[in-house]
Structure 1
């Protein structure tokens, strides 16, 4: 599919590392009972979205894992966005250009 054909190997490696870290954080910290993962390759961008129904993102605490995800995005010309939806949980969006 598009992911196999449109995503350069270097970007795919970062995508897998980011997904592993996001899911690891979710399991260790979020106390979630559900996680939704979506990956889109469209309009010259690759976007990973991980959403959960856990406790949300604490205002304080270690951020080394999240900082690493942001650094990976920035090195590729992209960005990491973390939000806490009003319904609860957390939403992580990691997006980078494909070209």
Structure 2
């Protein structure tokens, strides 16, 4: 239940970032259980993450993952946009 609450909060933040900051018009969400881990991937076709600017939302996502023994990664795919990958152990 605790991990599920974090997944919902992370997804909300990722979607909010895509809509408000990235100016994306397409977002792909993939939620998987891989072995004993949950992996949430959110990819958009927006403007990407700027080098400068506020990162408090991204820092919050990283802290949520780390607090559960998980991981968080932000990438700028070659096709553009942003890909957020958040994972945590299920047990």
- Quote the offset at 1:31 in angstroms: 1.0
How many residue pairs get matched? 91
Secondary structure of the corresponding residue to residue 77 of structure 1: coil
- Normalized per residue, the structure richer in helix is 1
Give the corresponding residue for 1:5: none
**Unpaired runs of 5+ in structure 1?**
1-8
Secondary structure of the corresponding residue to residue 87 of structure 1: coil
Secondary structure of the corresponding residue to residue 43 of structure 2: strand
Radius of gyration: which is bigger? 1
- Quote the offset at 1:17 in angstroms: 0.4
| Equivalent residue runs for 1:6-85 within 5 Å | 9-85=1-77
**Unpaired runs of 5+ in structure 2?**
none
Secondary structure of the corresponding residue to residue 30 of structure 1: coil
Could you report, residue by residue, the CA deviation over 1:14-70 in whole angstroms, capped at 9, with x for unpaired residues?
Answer: 000000011011110011110000000121100000000100111110000000000
Cα distance in structure 2, aligned partners of 1:28 and 1:52: 12
Cα distance in structure 1, aligned partners of 2:47 and 2:34: 31
TM-score normalised by length of structure 1: 0.90
Secondary structure of the corresponding residue to residue 60 of structure 1: coil
